[in-house]
Amino acid sequence: MTDKTYLVERVQTGVRIEKRLLKVLKAVADYRDMSLGDLLEGIVLHVFEGKCPFQPETLSKIRDLKELYGLDLDASASHKLHEAKPATSARRRTSR
C-alpha cells in the first residue's frame, strides 16, 4: 500500500440531487467521518474503475439509512427520475 498523496484543485459546484438520496449520502459521509465532497470523490473514483466503493459493513449501514430516510430508489431508477412541477403559490395566482 502506498502513502502517496495527490495535489488537486477543487471547485465549488451546485448540483441538483434527489432530496432523500442527498440525506443518505450526508449520513454516510458522517458515518465515515468525512466530508460529502470526499465521499463523492471516493465513490466516483471507485466506480470509474468498476469497483464497489463500500465494504459490506457500510453497505449494511446504507440499507438502514435508506429505510430511515424513505429512499426506495435503486439503480434501476437511474435516468428515470422526473421532478414534480412546483406548486403554484396563491400569491402568483391572484396577481394575474
**Domain map of the chain by residue range?**
9-74
Please give the helix or strand (H or E) that residue 11 lies within, else none: none
Above 80 in pLDDT, residue 92? no
Higher pLDDT residue, 52 or 96?
52
**What pLDDT is recorded for position 87?**
74
The mean pLDDT value for 72-86 works out to 92
**What pLDDT is recorded for position 86?**
78
pTM: 0.82
| Residue 48, C-beta contacts closer than 8 angstroms, at least 6 positions apart | none
Above 80 in pLDDT, residue 96? no
| DSSP string for residues in 19-74 | HHHHHHHHHHHHHTTS-HHHHHHHHHHHHHTT--SS-HHHHHHHHHHHHHTT----
**What pLDDT is recorded for position 2?**
75
Mean pLDDT across the chain? 91
Above 70 in pLDDT, residue 95? no
Return the axis-axis angle of helices 36-48 and 19-31, rounded to nearest 10°.
100
Higher pLDDT residue, 84 or 36?
36
